[in-house]
Amino acid sequence: MSHAVAMNLGQQFMDARYIQNSVDSSLNVFKNRSIHCLTPKGLYVLERFIHKTGVDADHLQIMLDTEITCAKLFYLQRGPVEDELVFRHNGIIALFRWFVGQQPNHPQKSTNAADSLRQYIRRSKGVTLMESTERGLLGKGVLHEHCFDAVEALEWLCDFTSVIGRQEAAEVMAHFDRLGLITLVGNPEKTRKNAIIFRVHGPIPKEDFTVSANGEYRCVNKALYKVTEKGCHVAGWNGEGYLLEKDSNEIFVNPPSPLE
């Protein structure tokens, strides 16, 4: 393996959140002389590989027992030839529920700094949500509930699902938009200039007027999205169930768990 190929492979591992910079986990560029370590997602994938293959890994057991390991990952379906993501209606709905959590995940109002394990557990319960007040035309503020940062949402998907980078994560978010589960907060023109916009297409389920054939997601700092009223209903936050439906219009009541 050449040095260039090795560097490219290391960057792919970093994009997929299998490894991170040991000194500054916010750095997302794989550098030649940097020291890296496995992420909780990387440890989970390693542990799962050891379990499935039965390879001798006694020398890794101490690390697996002491480090923070991802409890579960949401595995997205992929095509058999090019390994591309496959998006079906029921799969998107199940992934959305995983993304937002069983209850809205608002940060706790506490001045005490939690340890890394507690922070990770809290974050794993769903993307962090907040309230945002938008200035209205007449000076009155418009309050938006269940908002989340556009870039942070991509980071969350990279950490807790099988996507292997921000581009795939943005495709997922664009499908959430297409199904009417999320929507951009504020004036779209304010985020158009510097945004990388991902666009997707998909089928419209029969008699579901909340779903569009097209969806998009804007990847830019300071852009906010929010969970829509439909999204809250689909998540089950209001105590009501939501019936999943396949693209073939076959009722999909008890889907097999995509979590492993």
pTM for the whole structure: 0.86
**94 and 8, same structural domain?**
no
Q: Are 236 and 242 in contact (CB under 8 A)?
A: yes
- 236: pLDDT confidence band, cut at 50, 70 and 90? very high
Q: What is the largest CA-CA distance in the chain?
A: 68
**56 and 95, same structural domain?**
no
**100 and 57, same structural domain?**
no
**158 and 194, same structural domain?**
yes
Residue ranges making up the domain that contains 15: 3-66
**62 and 143, same structural domain?**
no
Q: Write down the pLDDT at residue 138.
A: 67
Do the domain assignments include residue 190? yes
**62 and 132, same structural domain?**
no
Do the domain assignments include residue 134? yes
**115 and 236, same structural domain?**
yes
Point out the least confidently predicted range of 43-47, 103-107, 187-191: 187-191
Q: Are 18 and 42 in contact (CB under 8 A)?
A: yes
**55 and 115, same structural domain?**
no
Q: Write down the pLDDT at residue 249.
A: 34
**228 and 188, same structural domain?**
yes
Q: Write down the pLDDT at residue 248.
A: 36
Among 222, 153, 141, CA closest to 181 = 153
CB-based contacts of 171, cutoff 8 Å, min separation 6: 85, 87, 198, 200, 217
**58 and 108, same structural domain?**
no
**Residues 123-146: what's their mean pLDDT?**
85
pLDDT (tens digit per residue) in 12-36: 999 999 999 998 888 889 988 889 9
**211 and 108, same structural domain?**
yes
**222 and 93, same structural domain?**
yes
Point out the least confidently predicted range of 81-85, 199-203, 253-257: 253-257
Number of structural domains in the chain: 2
Among 85, 235, 243, CA closest to 145 = 235
Do the domain assignments include residue 83? no
